Structure 1
Amino acid sequence: MDDRASSSSVVAGGEDRISNLHDNIILHILSFLDLKYAVRTSALSRKWKHTWTSIPCVNLNPDVFQTKYKFSKFVKRALTCRNTGVKDSAIKLTFRGSIVQGFVNNIVTYTYSYNVSKLTLIWPTCTYDELPEYLFSSCTLKHLTLDNQAHVFYRKSRIKLNSAWRLPALETLNLTDLEIGYIESKRPNLFSECVNLKDITLCRCSVNELGTFTICTPQLVNLTITDCDIWSSVLKVKAPQLKNLTVSCNNTFPKFFSFNAPQLENLTASVSTSAISFPFNHFLSFSRHNFNSLEKVNLSLRSRYNEKQEVSQRLLDLFKILRSAKSLILDVHIIESLSSSLDQLAHEPCPFNNLKLLKINMVPLKQKDPIPAVFTQVINYLLENSPYATVNMDLPQVPQKRSWQQVPNEDRPKKATKLETGISTMVDEKKLLEAQIQMQDQVIAKLRAEIEKKDEVNAKQRAELEKKDQVIAELNERIQMQNVNNIQSQLVHAAELPAVPGPSSANASFPPT
């Protein structure tokens, strides 16, 4: 056995480089394989026999098995042999179909029973399921990722809000393509018992009409809500340690934001919708908590909504709440909305007093497009109380050429000489172009004359061919007439010949016998 193993592990260079790697590197490499193929490495040699049992990240997928029964049987046996002393271990399960299948329950039970710190479930399906409550009850789980990968709005798996999640050790939560709550659900604070939760990401989730959707965690640092449809009236966030907030919604936005985050440093908010009647009075309607620690604010607005003055008023109210920001990033649509209310800007003081950087994202404009003059007035308004702030635009203005009055006197003779040289060169080039054009016209005239001659020759040839065709037709008619006459004469001659009598049978004589 050892001889076969050693011979099979020797590469062309005569050395088994993979087996000589450090154990941590080997385990890291095996973590990218499905557990089925990682287990097969135990047949390489004695060193590899139990290596797979210490893989920190276990990848499971029933698609690599012929049946789900074989997959369930393999998982049960393989997880039993696994080294439970591995620190910061993770299990990733990718499957198709409903999340309430039996093997899902078995794997989750193992994860929570043997202190696995990270669980990832990915099930690309459109089944209308309700997530089982056992997913949200573990004393040791630190990282949870649930990705439904459902691209149909009304076919997302549901999270029923009956009780708070019992995940006291959870630090990171990622939810994708899920429906959080529905009309029949209760309205508890899901995260009230997640006392160590620091990072929440909601991506393409639907938060139904719950009245108030509450996120209350004492240790939360990062909150990201991207491409979500939030139908709740109020989004209530109470996170005294929150530093980074990202909110991005498509067609729906909460009517009111109740934020208690005194340590907030970075805010990124954007809304993009195709609806003409989008209620922009709901766009970031923050409660008037002080955000005294704000460092960076990034706002973007893209919509077909035409009431720019109403949007402008909503933005001015929002600026008052975010007045302590030191870095302000706005897109060109916000500048356009503010430019529609220049009279109002003239009578209302700018709330920003500590700006150090003002950046305008001029994405819709082309590089050679001039920056409108009203944009300059809006920028001056934003920098009213921060004259030393840096202004940055994505598209720099096209530099203009100096007029003759701006050219110094000592440089004017050189400029004049260059201009005269350039003019004479242009005149010479013009003459050459005219000569070339004349030559081309002559060539074209000759070609036209040759074409006309060829057309005349072709016409004569066509006339001769037509005459020949007429002669041939006449000859054919004569030949046909001659053939007809010959046939008629032959028939007449045959009719005039006398009949030849043949021997009669009655008068026939036979020779004597």
Structure 2
Amino acid sequence: MNYAFSHNVQQVNLTCWFGNITCFPDDDIGFSLSLSNSQTIKHLTFSRCCYYDHIALTSTSKLSSLTTLHLDHITLYDGFFSNCPNLENLTLNCCRMLGSNAFKISHPRLCNLTVNQGQGHLVSNTLDVVAPQLKNLTITEFGGSYRISAPELASLLFRGFAPFMFSTDALNLLEKAQLSLYSLNGLDSPDAPSVISLLQKLHNVEDFSLSVEIVELLNSAVELISHQASPFANLKSLKILPRINCGWKHQHVQVIMSTEVKSYLLDSSPEATLTEVPSEHCCDLIAARALIFKKAENNHA
């Protein structure tokens, strides 16, 4: 590391492997990363090989030049991101905050944020984001509550458990949104109020994609929407995505959208197109998203 920094390296990919040790999710490995001389580094990827444990990143050095950060299975202390004043792109995979069930991300210059908690890694139950310049937000496999303050948000991709609570400022600039929601036992009527509340917060969206599970949930809860006006006045395109967990069988599920649901989604935008994505593309969609994220990281490299 010292050699890299002394030669003004701008990109560092660091993977830690401590040998054949037995690790448990609650046993963080303390790791102090010496970055005191890293004033030229712009892109940092830091990951832990072992799937089931984390590294506690304890360095408090200021990373003044860092613009892109990718962390994988890392435990951070509250306030870590304040040491990266020029951070614009942040990807967090199976990370958590030291001593807290909430994951807090507050940064004035952050533009692109991806948070993936991973199935089987439900180590946080609240995601708290304050990012006044955030343009693109991706949340996958994160279960719990969400507090999002991102007034400049233009794109939202949300894939995972139906949120218990989703609180956000007005998203007046939102252009594109994709929601793919599920629960352990399938979406059911108790999930309907929180899902409908989330839909209403996305009322300015133009390009909207919903998983078939959401349509089925709305079909079962028409009494909650039948007397409400459609909130989507700017909608240009509505896509119905196939079921998330296909089991690689690609079984076709016919989307039977009730009149009430169709009115709720489309009445305020009668010119919007409605498209059902074929079920054989369900796994392709997941792979495509992974490819898009990878390309985005490479573009920032």
Tell me which interval the TM-score lies in, with the shorter structure as reference length.
0.7 to 0.9
Name the aligned partner's letter for residue 225 of structure 2.
Answer: L
Name the aligned partner's letter for residue 235 of structure 1.
Answer: L
Note the C-alpha offset of 1:177.
Answer: 2.5
Residue 156 (structure 1) aligned to one of 42, 54, 62: 54
Residue 263 (structure 2) aligned to one of 368, 380, 394: 380
Name the aligned partner's letter for residue 111 of structure 1.
Answer: A
Note the C-alpha offset of 1:281.
Answer: 4.9
SS of the residue aligned with 1:218? Answer: coil
Residue 46 of structure 2 corresponds to: 146
Name the aligned partner's letter for residue 146 of structure 1.
Answer: F
SS of the residue aligned with 2:215? Answer: helix
Residue 205 of structure 1 corresponds to: 95
Q: Is the 8 A contact 1:191 1:215 kept in 2?
A: yes
Assess, with a 3 A threshold, how the Cα gap between structure 1 residues 208 and 312 changes in structure 2: closer, same or farther. Answer: farther
Aligned mates of 1:395, 1:137 — CA distance in 2: 52
Q: Does 1:132 align with 2:32?
A: yes
Q: Is the 8 A contact 1:164 1:191 kept in 2?
A: no
Assess, with a 3 A threshold, how the Cα gap between structure 1 residues 133 and 147 changes in structure 2: closer, same or farther. Answer: closer
Residue 237 of structure 1 corresponds to: 129
Structure 1, unpaired ranges of 5+: 1-107, 182-186, 273-279, 397-513
Note the C-alpha offset of 1:351.
Answer: 1.7
Aligned residues: 265
Residue 204 of structure 2 corresponds to: 324
SS of the residue aligned with 2:5? Answer: helix
Q: Is the 8 A contact 1:208 1:230 kept in 2?
A: no
Note the C-alpha offset of 1:157.
Answer: 2.1
TM-score normalised by L of structure 2: 0.78
Aligned mates of 2:57, 2:41 — CA distance in 1: 19
SS of the residue aligned with 1:258? Answer: strand
Aligned mates of 1:254, 1:202 — CA distance in 2: 17
Residue 260 (structure 1) aligned to one of 149, 155, 176: 149
Note the C-alpha offset of 1:233.
Answer: 5.0
Note the C-alpha offset of 1:366.
Answer: 4.0
Whose RCO is larger (CA < 8 A, sep 6+)?
Answer: 2
Aligned mates of 1:216, 1:137 — CA distance in 2: 25
Q: Does 1:123 align with 2:16?
A: yes
Structure 2, unpaired ranges of 5+: 24-28, 280-301
Q: CA RMSD in A?
A: 2.6
Assess, with a 3 A threshold, how the Cα gap between structure 1 residues 174 and 281 changes in structure 2: closer, same or farther. Answer: closer
Q: Deviations over 1:22-45 (max 9, x none)?
A: xxxxxxxxxxxxxxxxxxxxxxxx
Name the aligned partner's letter for residue 95 of structure 2.
Answer: C
Q: Answer with 1 or 2: which has the greater Rg.
A: 1
Q: Is the 8 A contact 1:209 1:232 kept in 2?
A: no
Residue 269 of structure 1 corresponds to: 158
Task: Please state which structure has a larger fraction of its residues in strand.
Answer: 2
SS of the residue aligned with 2:115? Answer: strand
Aligned mates of 1:370, 1:356 — CA distance in 2: 23
Aligned mates of 2:275, 2:108 — CA distance in 1: 37
Residue 52 of structure 1 corresponds to: none
Residue 346 (structure 1) aligned to one of 222, 226, 242: 226
Task: Please state which structure has a larger fraction of its residues in helix.
Answer: 1
SS of the residue aligned with 1:351? Answer: coil
